[in-house]
Amino acid sequence: MYPEIRLKMTPKLLRKPSIDFLVTICAIIFLIVTFFSNPQSSSTTPYEAEYTYLETTRQKLLSDIPLTSNIFEKVTVTQITDGDTLKVKRADETEVSVRYIGIDTPEIKHQGNGEDELFGQEATALNEFLVKGKTVYLQKDIGETDKYGRLLRYVYLEDGTMVNYILIRLGYANIMTIPPNVAYQQKLFEGQELAKKEKRNLFNE
């Protein structure tokens, strides 16, 4: 009788640890997948903090024209090229490249001599944090495109915040005025001066 009792209990004793082990492994895998698939990683935290500072102190440059006006084009950001360039999908489903008017961010390795300039990656990351995958609104100045065929635009978030200004206000871009696109030249200049005063990023000298 004893051998039979021991034989019946052995599978049960072995089965429970096996289930616990599998549950533990599944939990570990779930945590790993969740961590690496989370877009708000620790690397974006500084950008979020800087942007929140401008928001809470009411230092964002907001459009004084309703975004429903026909001077704006509603698009979806599909890709970030670098700090001052992105790709968007228009209402007709076509994709086009857009270059921010009035600013210039440091180059990254896909351009020039293949090396990142100082704060090039950071400017790109901020641009991604602000607009990637989001609905934004494009505003034209005078010129339509640059020599590379990219649309020249001011870019706005859905709350009316101008992204061009945020990039320069937080010190990730320099002002670059190319006539005739000068509608917001003074505002962008003021943003750069504030970034210099606070010694932010590119202006930390």
Ordered by start, the domain boundaries in the chain are 1-38, 50-203
Candidates 77, 104, 99; CA nearest to 152 is 99
Q: 164, 100 in Cβ contact below 8 A?
A: yes
User: pLDDT class for 86, splitting at 50, 70, 90?
Assistant: very high
User: pLDDT class for 31, splitting at 50, 70, 90?
Assistant: very low
Is there a catalytic annotation at residue 6? no
> Nearest 5 degrees, angle CA 53-CA 56-CA 62?
95
Query: For residue range 37-59, what is the model confidence (pLDDT) as tens digits?
Result: 444 444 446 788 899 999 999 99
The model's pTM: 0.75
Within 88-155, residue ranges assigned H as helices are 120-131
pLDDT reading at 21 higher than 70: no
Is there a catalytic annotation at residue 200? no
Average pLDDT over residues 167-176: 96
Q: State the catalytic residue, choosing from 107, 122, 128, 153.
A: 107
Q: Is the CATH number of domain 50-203 2.40.50.90?
A: yes
Residue 118 or 54, more confident: 54
Q: How much is the pLDDT for 74?
A: 98
Q: State the catalytic residue, choosing from 99, 122, 128, 153.
A: 99
Q: 45-56 and 120-131 are packed helices; what angle lies between their axes, rounded to 10 degrees?
A: 60
Neighbour tally for 57: CB within 10 Å: 8
pLDDT reading at 98 higher than 50: yes
Is there a catalytic annotation at residue 107? yes
Q: How much is the pLDDT for 27?
A: 52
Q: State the catalytic residue, choosing from 50, 122, 128, 150.
A: 150
pLDDT reading at 169 higher than 80: yes
